[in-house]
Amino acid sequence: MSHYSDAEDSISNDFSELEGLRKRNIWDPEVESITSEIKDLLDEDVNSLVEEDCVGCPLPSTPEDENFLDSEMSDVLKAAVLVNLLAIAGDELDISALAHNAATQAEHVVRKMIQAGWSCCHFNNLPAWLQDNDFLHFGHRPPLPSFKACFKSIFRIHTETANIWTHLLGCVAFIGIAIYFLMRPVIEIELEEKIVFGAFFAGAIICLGCSSLFHTLNCHSQFIGKLFSKLDYCGIALLTMGSFVPWLYYGFYCHFKPKVVYLSIVCALGITSIIVSLWDKFSESEWRPFRAAVFMTFGLSGVVPAIHYGIVEGWFNYVSQKYLGWLVLMGVLYIIGAMFYALRVPERWFPGKFDIWFHSHQIFHVFVLVAALVHYHGISEMAMYRVTIGQCEISNSLIY
């Protein structure tokens, strides 16, 4: 790291000469404050590079390409050299333009160094907008102000790796299932049933896709992080809405009025959840239990039509159906996953021991994915049951 020390000495010498210009009244007082800020910025960048033992410093503590970083540091030194030309040209040079050039070069080198190589941070070294779970100590990504760097980070090991891949692979799986199902000939699956299942597929794909994107891009910037967190929560609401559609459709297949009423209520609750999700404070870490409560309440609202369905179909007939067990299992999986998410276990019990693998958010992701697959199997069984029954005794009945 001696070359960075040399860089620091060179920058200091350049600014010493500029101090001499100021004393000889060649220096423009209007830009003195600008130059002072530039010097502080350059000193900060160099100090960040030489602090090799600093875990989670603003610049990468273990850069991957030393030659690249040497080249970038030389660009910063060139800015200092340009300012040094004042000693020769005097008032003929535009001092403000040179000062702006130096600041631009300093910002450029910071961005390039972060993209070239970065090391994982300790939780305490993260900016406030990236601090979400204080029970996870090490392995956090630093801010990566580049979409390319964020997407490349999915192939690195850090606290978000499993969060990204669980729902990314799940999204791809549901896209494949949806294509297979929707491409079946109409003689096998009618268009109306394709639309019903399509609502579930759309909710699952959007939810898993937005979740994967959020965990990939949440370190880009505060604005991007908040934007994709809102999309993530909206995706959860859409998955819940889409999950209700098939089982309400088949559950009240021969009862038109309650089917429409319950679907309308589900849509209203879903839209309400989406509106709440767009609230800025909703994504903050201290609101985690409230977030879990909102989505659990939305999901548990299905108990009301389930009881109604039992009354309409008869309890014995209801509990004897195979699909009921799958739907109950789906609900249990969602609830357990939400409890892990809200309570932040096991990392709450063993802080710093589950930083990379098996922390609560990863477990929550797995439960959501498995529950969605179980739900797909359950509504498929429900659809097959309706096929075996045949036509309704009273088509489109308005009775409850």
Q: Which of 152, 181, 183, 135 is nearest to 341 (CA)?
A: 135
- Alpha-carbon separation of residue 129 from 126, 133, 186, 218, 281 (angstroms): 8, 11, 50, 9, 12
- Alpha-carbon separation of residue 126 from 40, 57, 155, 217, 320 (angstroms): 21, 9, 21, 15, 54
Phi and psi, residue 121, nearest 5°: -105, 160
Is 215 within any annotated ligand binding site?
A: yes
- Predicted TM-score of the model (pTM): 0.73
Digit-by-digit pLDDT tens for the chain (400 residues) are 444 455 455 555 555 555 555 555 554 555 555 556 555 655 554 444 434 344 444 444 344 444 555 555 555 555 555 555 444 455 555 556 655 666 666 566 555 555 557 999 999 999 999 999 999 999 999 999 999 999 999 999 999 999 999 999 999 999 999 999 999 998 889 999 999 999 999 999 999 999 999 999 999 999 999 999 999 999 999 999 999 999 999 999 988 999 999 999 999 999 999 999 999 888 888 888 889 889 989 988 988 998 998 888 777 676 668 788 898 899 999 999 999 999 999 999 999 999 999 999 999 999 999 999 999 999 999 999 888 887 777 544 444 4
Tokens of 14: 């350049």
Phi and psi, residue 233, nearest 5°: -70, -35
As a three-state string, the secondary structure of 212-271 is HHHHHHCCCCHHHHHHHHHHHHHHHHHHHHHHHHHHHHHHCCCEHHHHHHHHHHHHHHHH
Is 3 within any annotated ligand binding site?
A: no
CA–CA separation, 113 vs 80, rounded Å? Answer: 19
pLDDT of residue 117: 74
| Helix runs in 24-94, H state only | 32-50, 66-84, 86-89
CA–CA separation, 399 vs 391, rounded Å? Answer: 17
- Alpha-carbon separation of residue 37 from 25, 103, 138, 285 (angstroms): 20, 9, 32, 34
Q: Which of 367, 338, 359 is nearest to 159 (CA)?
A: 359
CA–CA separation, 49 vs 69, rounded Å? Answer: 10
Grouping H, G, I as helix, E, B as strand and the rest as coil, residue 397 is: strand
Within a 10 A sphere around the Cβ of 289, how many other Cβ atoms?
12
> Does domain 160-389 bear CATH number 1.20.1070?
yes
Q: Which of 345, 364, 355 is nearest to 161 (CA)?
A: 355
pLDDT of residue 61: 39
Is 308 within any annotated ligand binding site?
A: no
In the chain, where are the structural domains located?
A: 2-119, 160-389
42 with 80: CB under 8 angstroms? yes
CA–CA separation, 217 vs 96, rounded Å? Answer: 36
141 with 135: CB under 8 angstroms? no
